[in-house]
Amino acid sequence: MPNSTPYPSISHLGHHAHSHARSNNPLVNYELTGEIRWLDVPLERVVLGVQQTDGHAGAFCGRDVTLDLEPARVYGGRLETLTPGTRIHVKLRLPRDLGGELPDLPSAHSVTVLPGD
């Protein structure tokens, strides 16, 4: 049986069969790392001083970005225990082409509290 797998619901279409679909996805991962400059725990928002980014988010390095953490999972700590100066790593799902501008209040997908020095 060519083009089959041991899993009946999955067909094997060959090498790179799914790569075309990924390139059409309008959302990509953006990753920002930096220090919390300000936070509002009741509103679940932070201002992050971005110090490092991944390839898509490079334009935001060195800027302060306000983020909505309400939908985010927080790893390595709790929102209530964060303070200004805490280093965090934030993952966002945003449109591939932002033209250098973030939405007014982007929602974080996940937040990881980084260990202090």
How sure is the predictor about 38, in pLDDT bands with cuts at 50, 70 and 90? very high
Give the pair of three-digit tokens for residue 19.
Answer: 């790569």
Domain ranges of the chain: 20-113
Quick one: which of 94, 35, 97, 41 has its CA closest to 69?
Answer: 41
Q: Using a cut of 0.85, tell me whether the model's pTM lies above it.
A: no
Q: Which CATH homologous superfamily contains domain 20-113?
A: Copper binding periplasmic protein CusF (2.40.50.320)
Amino acid at 48: L
Look at residue 33 in the predicted model and tell me its pLDDT.
97
Q: What is the pLDDT of residues 40-87, one digit of tens each?
A: 999 999 999 999 998 788 888 999 999 999 999 999 999 999 999 999
Would you call 81 helix, strand, or coil by DSSP?
helix
Residues whose CB falls within 8 Å of the CB of residue 11, separated by 6 or more in sequence, listed in order: 3, 4, 5
Look at residue 6 in the predicted model and tell me its pLDDT.
52
Look at residue 3 in the predicted model and tell me its pLDDT.
52
